[in-house]
Structure 1
Amino acid sequence: MTASGRAEQAGEVFSDLAEMSPAYFGLVMATGIISLAAFMMQHDTIALGLFYLNIGQYAFLCVLYAMRAWRYPRRFFGDMVAHLTGPGYFTTVAGTGILASQFMVLHENIVVGTALWMLAILLWVCLTYTIFTAFTVKREKPTLDKGINGGWLLAVVATQALSVSSALLAARIDQPYRLELNLMALSMWLWGGMLYIWMMSLIFYRYAFFSFSPGDLAPPYWINMGAMAISTLAGSLLILNAPHAPYLMSLLPFLKGFTVFYWATGTWWIPMLLLLGIWRYGYERFPFRYDPLYWGAVFPLGMYAASTWQMDHAMEFGFLTPLPRAFLYIALSAWVVTFVGMLCTLVRVLNGKRACSTSLQGDGDTRKK
């Protein structure tokens, strides 16, 4: 290949990097929570396989994000303060928190789990106050129907992921930090719930009072349910931690009531989202092809399975067991389909670049002759 051909091929690679979705850590979120749900339901082989895969995915995405920030800083940080793309960066927080939870639950590795938990806190603080401050002070802002979607609720998911990982860490260490960690888990759980109420009010208003096209119904709208599912999981862990924190014991009726409230709200969303999906793909014939945002639809399915299983255990219901098992299989199926779609898309892109490279090489040889 000629020098000009190699330069053009490298330019195409970097161009793809520039277009990379800020929400790609949804892959880590989806893989991680399905792994945890499988472990809860004693599918250890699946759980551990997805855990090791998730470590590789997380490391690879960290490299890609760092390369994107270095090569295209204006695009990287510009997406961060844009209304439609900025909240996608919260997948880095949620993905880091869920991977921390995997280390603590699947391997009982408190050291790595704690390090990832601290990184998730740092990311949460930086992103929360960067993104929402930028949204507030921007002079030019989109209208509500053009500036908000279900992806905004990733801020809720990120907050609740910290609550979950804090509660899991609190259950695995002794004093003097157990009480403090439980308080942090409680505080993040409460703030995440309040943030959901604020954002969901705007999203529901956008649903009902603005025109809605099939293209507007992006997969992150499943986060409407996923945000409530992870809130249910966090609440269930706080209930289980209550015997070790007196202030949690005093709040136990409140914790149980709001945990069921979150679960019921998330459950209500499932038929609604299915109907909207039928309208999008069936009635409106919207093309069904791989998009990184589909991981935002896989994650809520896995989270609903995990949260329902944990709530059934924490509340001692005993009759909900078949529901999370069914959703685990649904989530696994959705994960496999989306993962295969991702691989097929990657292969097509690489084959296209290889064909382009061959063409460039042939042109170079012709010119030499």
Structure 2
Amino acid sequence: MNVPEAAAPARSAAPVPFGWAGLTPAAGAAVMATGILSVGLHLAGHEVVSLVALVLAGALWVVLAVHFTGRLLRARAEWSAQAHTPPALTAVAATTVLGTRLALLGWHGLAQALLALATVLWAVLLISVLRHLTHRMSGAVFLVCVATQGLAVLAATEALAGSGEWLARAALVLVGLALLLYADALRRFDVRQVLTGAGDQWLAGGALAISALAAAALAASPLWRGDLHDVLRALTLALLTLDLAWYVVLLAAEALRPRPAYDVRRWATVFPLGMSAAASLAASNATGIRWLSTLGQTLLWIAVTAWLLTLAGALRAYGPAGRRVPRR
């Protein structure tokens, strides 16, 4: 996650304890990344590892929720400044990803509570963020789409579980709105970030991946028949194709301009990798195209590897022996 566009933290040579001092809303991407790996592992049939990832995601969600609630109470001006920036929307996306995995586990009461919470956060934060968008922004700008599609995925998942057809209809509206937000984010995105970004440039593709996942969840619903079902199926495949195109471009850019140093925004790289895997697996189920399942399994293990490497980088940077110097 980025620090606020206009005000980055001052440099400091002092050690920073992991997970607390200097923490920005970008850390929410770690929950997003871990949660979507849990979803992908579940879709691939690796239930035990999926549950481990779910526990980690849930624990980190609680830690971050406590931390940022405390910041709201103790440093309201700082909290408000960060709430105007796109990274604040990781709170919405992380909550919906966690809720989606709980819904797949059958914990529908808790999933619906998280859906309600995410909806309130989305309504408050999205308006604030949209009012402060500029041009030549980092990849975090795509969180306006990611957060909205996160609501659509969770609502569609709950609708499939029998929680109400109105949720599926709401999800359909959210998918359309999110695609409009993606178009606006794309025109604001600084394309130079593809070569210079610290990690969140991958959200340019990740936003399309979660859009494909939302469309796949809707396509799997028996509510839609005839032409609308065909449109949703075609939309799923089109969005997944665009996501994979971004995947190739961004991977090539990483090879051309390696950026091995750890940055908290690297969690916003892991999330799109995991989301591409989950979207491929869900698209295979929704469309009956079997080779997408094989692709999804391959992408899943790439995402798991990226998660482990990013975790190792975080532990080196923030662990007892590490010193973290925030960027200006």
TM-score normalized by structure 1? 0.79
Tell me what 2:121 maps to: 123
Cα deviations by residue, 1:157-203 (Å, 9 ceiling, x for unpaired):
100010000001111125xxx22101111011111111112221332
Q: Is the 8 Å Cα contact of residues 23 and 90 (structure 1) preserved in structure 2?
A: no
- 1:354-369 equivalences in 2 (<5 Å): none
Q: Is the partner of 1:184 in helix, strand or coil?
A: helix
Residue 59 of structure 1, CA deviation: 0.4
Instruction: Report the CA distance shift for 1:311/1:64 in structure 2 as closer, same or farther (over 3 A).
Output: same
Percent of counterpart pairs with the same letter? 28
Instruction: Report the CA distance shift for 1:351/1:299 in structure 2 as closer, same or farther (over 3 A).
Output: closer
Report the RMSD for the aligned CA atoms in angstroms.
2.3
Instruction: Give the aligned residue type for 2:67.
Output: L
Tell me, in whole angstroms, the C-alpha distance in 2 between the residues paired with 1:121 and 1:351: 37
Instruction: Report the CA distance shift for 1:342/1:312 in structure 2 as closer, same or farther (over 3 A).
Output: same
State whether structure 2 residue 150 is matched by structure 1 residue 164.
Answer: no
Cα deviations by residue, 1:183-231 (Å, 9 ceiling, x for unpaired):
111011111111112221332xx32xxx6696x4221110011111111
Match for residue 139 of structure 2 among 125, 150, 155: 150
- 1:71-110 equivalences in 2 (<5 Å): 71-81=74-84, 86-106=85-105, 108-110=106-108
Cα deviations by residue, 1:37-57 (Å, 9 ceiling, x for unpaired):
001111111101111111111
Tell me what 2:256 maps to: 279
Tell me what 2:214 maps to: 234
Tell me what 2:169 maps to: 183
Instruction: Give the aligned residue type for 1:90.
Output: L
Tell me what 1:262 maps to: 239
Cα deviations by residue, 1:56-114 (Å, 9 ceiling, x for unpaired):
11101111112222333222211222xxxx000111100000111111112x0111110
Match for residue 48 of structure 1 among 51, 60, 65: 51
Residue 13 of structure 1, CA deviation: 6.9
- 1:294-309 equivalences in 2 (<5 Å): 294-309=266-281
State whether structure 2 residue 13 is matched by structure 1 residue 36.
Answer: no
Between structure 1 and structure 2, the one with the greater Rg is 1
Question: 5+ residue gaps in structure 2?
Answer: 1-13
Instruction: Give the aligned residue type for 1:324.
Output: G
Instruction: Report the CA distance shift for 1:37/1:12 in structure 2 as closer, same or farther (over 3 A).
Output: closer
Tell me what 1:362 maps to: none
> What is the aligned length?
310
Match for residue 219 of structure 1 among 199, 202, 214: 199
Cα deviations by residue, 1:106-163 (Å, 9 ceiling, x for unpaired):
2x0111110001001001000011222344xxxxxx6x33xx1211001111000100
State whether structure 2 residue 273 is matched by structure 1 residue 293.
Answer: no
Residue 344 of structure 1, CA deviation: 2.4
Q: Is the 8 Å Cα contact of residues 29 and 94 (structure 1) preserved in structure 2?
A: yes
Tell me, in whole angstroms, the C-alpha distance in 2 between the residues paired with 1:258 and 1:99: 25
Instruction: Give the aligned residue type for 2:187.
Output: S
Residue 329 of structure 1, CA deviation: 0.6
Tell me what 2:307 maps to: 335
Tell me, in whole angstroms, the C-alpha distance in 2 between the residues paired with 1:161 and 1:197: 17
Match for residue 179 of structure 2 among 186, 193, 200: 193
Instruction: Give the aligned residue type for 2:145.
Output: V
Tell me, in whole angstroms, the C-alpha distance in 2 between the residues paired with 1:347 and 1:32: 23
Tell me, in whole angstroms, the C-alpha distance in 2 between the residues paired with 1:172 and 1:90: 26
Instruction: Report the CA distance shift for 1:229/1:213 in structure 2 as closer, same or farther (over 3 A).
Output: closer
Which of the pair has the greater relative contact order for Cα pairs under 8 Å at 6+ separation? 2
Tell me, in whole angstroms, the C-alpha distance in 2 between the residues paired with 1:89 and 1:235: 25
Q: Is the 8 Å Cα contact of residues 226 and 299 (structure 1) preserved in structure 2?
A: yes
Tell me, in whole angstroms, the C-alpha distance in 2 between the residues paired with 1:12 and 1:322: 44
Tell me what 1:355 maps to: none
Residue 277 of structure 1, CA deviation: 1.2
Tell me, in whole angstroms, the C-alpha distance in 2 between the residues paired with 1:294 and 1:318: 31
**Structure richer in helix, relative to its length:** 1
Q: Is the partner of 1:289 in helix, strand or coil?
A: coil
Q: Is the 8 Å Cα contact of residues 163 and 234 (structure 1) preserved in structure 2?
A: yes
Tell me, in whole angstroms, the C-alpha distance in 2 between the residues paired with 1:133 and 1:198: 13
Tell me what 1:133 maps to: 131
Residue 322 of structure 1, CA deviation: 1.7
State whether structure 2 residue 188 is matched by structure 1 residue 202.
Answer: yes
Q: Is the partner of 2:289 in helix, strand or coil?
A: coil
Residue 12 of structure 1, CA deviation: 8.1
Tell me what 1:253 maps to: 230
Tell me, in whole angstroms, the C-alpha distance in 1 between the residues paired with 2:284 and 2:194: 38
Instruction: Give the aligned residue type for 2:265.
Output: L
